[in-house]
Structure 1
Amino acid sequence: MAARLTRPHRDDVLIAVSGLGGGLLLWAIGLYSRTANDPITVVDARWAVLVPLVVTTACELLRRTRPRTALLVGTVAITADLVTRGNLATIVMFTDLVYAAVLYGTRASARRIVWITGLLTVIGTVVPYVAWRVPQALLIGVGVALVTVAPAATGWVVRDHRDAADAERLRAEQTALLAEMDRSQAVAAERARMARELHDMVANHLSAIAIHSTAALSIDDPGTSREALSVIRENSVEGLAEMRRLIGILRDDDGEPSAVPTLDGLTALVDGARANGLDITLDTDHGTVPAPVELAAYRIVQESLTNALKHACPGRVTVALVQQDSVLDVRVTSPYGHRDGPRAPGSGAGLVGMRERAALLGGTFEAGPDGGFWAVRATLPLTEGGSE
């Protein structure tokens, strides 16, 4: 019901008014398509020409909203026009109805119209020639083709171009959407990488500062307080240097790659953890390791030592890196149980970051109690997987 109440398009109204005006002008001056003596003229009354003209004009108002209905009614009108003296405007408007039915109707309907108009052209060419046996009879087929096949073929070509343009537009929108999704995923991945780097760089130093400041405040011993303040200062300076390095990664104005930690720096990392009070044994047995694996292994060891500083009981912490075939095995164990003394708060982000680093390289990560120890183990493939 809503479709029936659809108002005609402004262009359709303009076409209808123009066609009606032109037809009335031709009728007024007495210019018809056929003479009164034409054998096909059955109704010679002047007013009879106006009936198909008005009906075709009304159909023009529906050419866009009801193209198939407009063509069916228009076909009846053009047939009625054939038995009158005829009006050129009626014929021209009918060709527009054929064109509009192919352009605005369904694709299946448009295809049928093209075939039907082609068939009518063949019939309009063959039948008169067979009946009259004169070459002039072929002109009837030409006339039928001009009125039916030509507008139908034109509408089909225009429709194909419009469909191709719509498909290209849709493809462009989909491409833009995929590009936006890729950009959003890249931003999210970069933010996650930045979060991991920030946590791994600074958490170790801040944890040491928190533990030693707590000790300095709880123990009333000038010597202990001075030693704690020395450790706090050292970790503050190192933490500030790490922060500056992270800022350098984020804002690389000179175009030169910023230095990233490697496994060669594990000794310095372990020495720093020892200075914070951990008893550590380092055991490494590996060859050349790809840069992404080096960074992931370094960060996993760094975060494991940070967790040991915050939560481990007194005792020895072991760090072992062993290369087996095409896998680097990273294992860090620390005493596990009730701990006396100050603790630094933990958020759980460190374990998430270590698991993400291993997953990005296609490796595995495990962390949990193992007997009287807390064990962290990561297996990092050396030949396949993601990269930082």
Structure 2
Amino acid sequence: MMSKLRRIRGENILGMPAEMILSVAAVVVDMVSLPGVAPAALVVTMGQAAAIFFSRRHLRLGVLLCGGIYVVSALVEPQDLGVGIYLPLVMVAQLVARNCYGWARGLTMWCCLLNLWMCRRATSVTDWAAAFVLWFVLYMAAWAAGRVASRRREIAAKELRHALERQRLQVAGELHDNVAHDLSLIVMRARHAQLHPEEAARELGFIVERASQANGYLRNLMLLLKPGQPVRPLDLMDALRRAESDLRVAGMSATVTIQGYVSQVPQPVSDVVARVTKEAVNNMVRHASTEAPCAVLVNVTEDDVQLGFTNTPDSCDEGVGLGLTGMRERVEALGGRFDAGPVEGTWMVRASIPWVADR
């Protein structure tokens, strides 16, 4: 992510902006060329380089300084000019790259007029026209280079925004799928302990266990926020065992059916299956009636993994919350199908996820 920030700032050559590298190179070339280059030309080159440096933080000052110093260039004999005469091209490209088109147009027109003044001693109209075309092409090339740099900067900024959004969604998903799940169970068991003091010791043991687990999830979440740290995938078999345990501890009459070879499911799919199972069971514990049976089905076929969760909700409609939305997004991200809703007095969640990884 830091490399993308550098690209947005233009720090892509030796850790410095390209325009600063070119400015320093122009000054060095003119210094090496002495005494072939007039001292006034060296002053012009150093002034233009300073203008480019100033424009990084003070745009108006840099542009005005560049235009003013170019007037001095027009007063120097053409044969005595150094590389500094081309540095306004770098300034124009920099302005275009920063989307400062008004300043870029103004500096381009000003420098072109001064270039025409420099060609005043041309011996023929052909020489004058050739010089004019040359400078026109150079400034158009500067504009094109600036547009390319601006486009690359926009793409890098867009990639950075997408990366930050993906990280935000990952953090939100980890919080909802893991920490929020355990906290919901902790609250439910604490309320149960309040209503049944004789079972407080057993409930406190469960609360301590789940609080420790939630603390571990928070540590993993902190690792996720570090650069280059991937999301740790969930173990499918462990998630199925915990699902059955949570339903049983919640006092629900649950039937958990596992068909096929779960161990053969590739990791990207197994991670999604584990997270969908965890969220669906969490919804059962929170919303389902303990007086009616519920069922969990995980069927591994040769082509896909089929999931089914059935329960009788306490209310007529469980609604569409963040959990259902997150499950749908995870399943559809792997090309699967997801459906959730009431069916003949029960609430059903069904999903089918194809095997997208090599087996």
| Bucket of the pairwise TM-score, normalised by the shorter protein | 0.5 to 0.7
1:225 pairs with 161, 186, 200, which one? Answer: 200
The alignment's C-alpha RMSD in Å is 3.7
Aligned to 1:277: 251
How big is the shift at 1:247? Answer: 2.9
The change in CA–CA distance for 1:171 and 1:374 in structure 2 (over 3 A counts) is same
Residue 150 of structure 1, aligned match among 123, 127, 151: 127
Contact 2:312 2:347 in 1 (8 A): yes
- Give the aligned partner of residue 375 of structure 1: 348
* Residue range with higher mean Cα deviation, 371-380 or 318-327: 318-327
Tell me the residue number matched to 1:236: 211
Which residue is equivalent to 2:37? none
Residues 115-161 of structure 1 deviation map (CA, whole Å, 9 limit, x = unaligned): xxxxxxxxxxxxxxxxxxxxxxxxxxxx9x94111121122122212
Cα displacement string for residues 135-192 of structure 1 (whole angstroms, at most 9, x for unaligned residues): xxxxxxxx9x941111211221222122112111111111011111111111111110
- Counterpart of 1:328 in structure 2: which amino acid? V
Unaligned runs of 5+ in 2: 1-66, 78-108
Is residue 193 of structure 2 the alignment partner of residue 216 of structure 1?
A: yes
Residues 259 and 175 (structure 1), Cα distance of their counterparts in 2 relative to 1, 3 Å cut: closer
Q: Which has the larger radius of gyration?
A: 1
Does the CA contact (< 8 Å) of 2:334 and 2:356 recur in 1? no
Match of 1:309 in 2: 285
- Between the aligned partners of 1:16 and 1:298, the Cα distance in structure 2 is 73
Match of 1:174?
151
CA positional deviation for 1:227: 3.0
Percent of matched pairs sharing the same residue? 27
5+ residue gaps, structure 1: 1-8, 20-63, 71-92, 101-142, 340-344
What is the CA distance between 1:15 and its match in structure 2? 9.4
CA distance in 1, matches of 2:139, 2:297: 67
Q: How big is the shift at 1:354?
A: 1.1
Is 1:291 matched up with 2:277? no
Q: Which runs of 4+ in 1 moved over 6 A?
A: 9-19, 255-258
Query: How many pairs does the alignment contain?
Result: 255
The TM-score with structure 2 as length reference comes to 0.61
1:358 equivalent to 2:335? Answer: no
After superposition, residues 1-388 of structure 1 pair within 5 angstroms as: 96=116, 146-217=123-194, 219=195, 221-251=196-226, 259-273=232-246, 274-287=248-261, 288-314=264-290, 315-338=292-315, 348-383=321-356
Letter in 1 for 2:142: A
The SS at the match of 1:383 is: coil
Give the Å deviation of 1:349.
Answer: 1.9
Q: In structure 2, the residue corresponding to 1:336 is in which secondary structure?
A: coil
Cα deviation for residue 251 of structure 1 reads 4.2
Normalised TM-score (structure 1): 0.56
SS of the aligned residue for 2:124 comes to: helix
Partner residue in 2 for 1:23: none
Asked if 1 retains the 8 angstrom alpha-carbon contact of 2:74 and 2:118, the reply is: no
Cα distance in 2, alignment partners of residues 204 and 244 from structure 1: 16
